[in-house]
Structure 1
Amino acid sequence: MNNFKFEKKQAFRVIGIKTTLSDGTNIHSPQFSNQKTTFFKSVIDNGQIASLRPYADSPYGYAVVAKENGFIVYYAGVQSSKPLPEHADEVQFPGSEYLILSGSGGLSRLAFDKLEDQAFGSLLTDEYEYVYSGAPIAEVLLNGNPTDAEVEVWIPVHKRNVR
């Protein structure tokens, strides 16, 4: 497992179209996968993602999983420092240490799920020195090709308190 690293990132913002995910309360729940896929396809098909491209600060596509007001929400969008368009919502990412996992090949949704499973199943366990901070998680499509994807998952972490 050499597909991960820890990296300090400055605060950043993603603007996007948002939906609430159902049937789970944990930020990483397997039952969210199909909901995420269906939602992302719908915002591509209806042109909402294309409407955000002029606001993008990078060529990457972003999805975000966050906990807001007791619900798990999912954003499809772009990283942006530009004014928020009326039809979009925003999510702020803190300046933080991030666990960055990388993958490539196959469908982006499957790659994101595999990396998140690795993070929460193998790396962010009781035996590991880092823990998930609770802040939003970014799923980043690096090559713009969701059928033969190059992806990263950015999970905000902090060092475990040692007593």
Structure 2
Amino acid sequence: MAEYTLEQKDSFTVIGLGTELKSDYTDFVGINKEKTDFWQNVSQDGRLEHLKSISTNDYVFAVSEAVNGKMMYYAGVMTEAAAPEEARVIQFPKGEYLVVKGEAQTADELNNRLAGVAFGQALGEAKNVAYVGGPNTTVEMGHRNGMVYGEMWIPVVRK
């Protein structure tokens, strides 16, 4: 049984740097490699640090979203500042969200673990709600005791 909560959230906006994931949506190894490579690139080239410098909080968002039939993936932050030219403004709706909390050794591991629990267990167990698309996100919230902790937020509707 997966541990999750259903929480009301106000609408929020994430400014994200993105990449198109080319692996088939059932190819978890391929998708995870693409995500890892993307995080390495935006971390090494300074773009992620720039986003963090304009953020309104310490959260780092890993957003998945279908856009024009493409599977997109973003590294982002909440900010009131103007978005960098190559960034996308991602709107999350006000409403109910399925939330899975966790921690891991690395942000990459946290991302994979939370997505696995959320999509592999929690959504199936949450009988009174359904995910009908739209952006979903893993939120890296900080570090404690040598671990990265955070949450996965998936917008849901009542059945």
- Please tell me the TM-score bracket, short chain as reference: 0.7 to 0.9
Report the Cα offset of residue 87 of structure 1: 3.5
One-letter amino acid of the counterpart of residue 98, structure 1: Y
Contact 1:3 1:103 in 2 (8 A): no
TM-superposition CA deviations, 1:18-68 (whole Å, max 9, x none): 100012247xx6231111111011101100011112321111111100000
CA change 1:127–1:136 in 2 (3 A) is closer
Judge which range, 115-124 or 150-159, deviates more. Answer: 115-124
Contact 1:61 1:144 in 2 (8 A): no
Q: For residue 86 of structure 1, give the secondary structure of its aligned residue in structure 2.
A: coil
Report the Cα offset of residue 154 of structure 1: 0.5
Q: For residue 149 of structure 1, give the secondary structure of its aligned residue in structure 2.
A: strand
TM-superposition CA deviations, 1:75-118 (whole Å, max 9, x none): 11211233222232221111121111111132222222222222
One-letter amino acid of the counterpart of residue 6, structure 2: F
* TM-score under structure 2 length normalisation: 0.88
Count of equivalent residues: 157
Q: How does 1:32-43 map to 2 (within 5 A)?
A: 32-43=31-42
Looking at structure 2, the residues matched to 111 and 85 of structure 1 have their Cα atoms a distance apart, in angstroms, of: 27
Residue of structure 2 in register with 1:20 after alignment: 20
One-letter amino acid of the counterpart of residue 4, structure 1: Y
Structure 1 runs of 4+ with >4 Å offset: none
One-letter amino acid of the counterpart of residue 94, structure 1: P
Give the superposed CA RMSD: 2.1
* TM-score under structure 1 length normalisation: 0.86
Consecutive unaligned residues in structure 2, runs of 5 or more: none
Residue of structure 2 in register with 1:116 after alignment: 115
Looking at structure 1, the residues matched to 112 and 106 of structure 2 have their Cα atoms a distance apart, in angstroms, of: 10
CA change 1:39–1:7 in 2 (3 A) is same
One-letter amino acid of the counterpart of residue 117, structure 1: G
Looking at structure 1, the residues matched to 152 and 6 of structure 2 have their Cα atoms a distance apart, in angstroms, of: 12
Aligned identity (percent) is 31
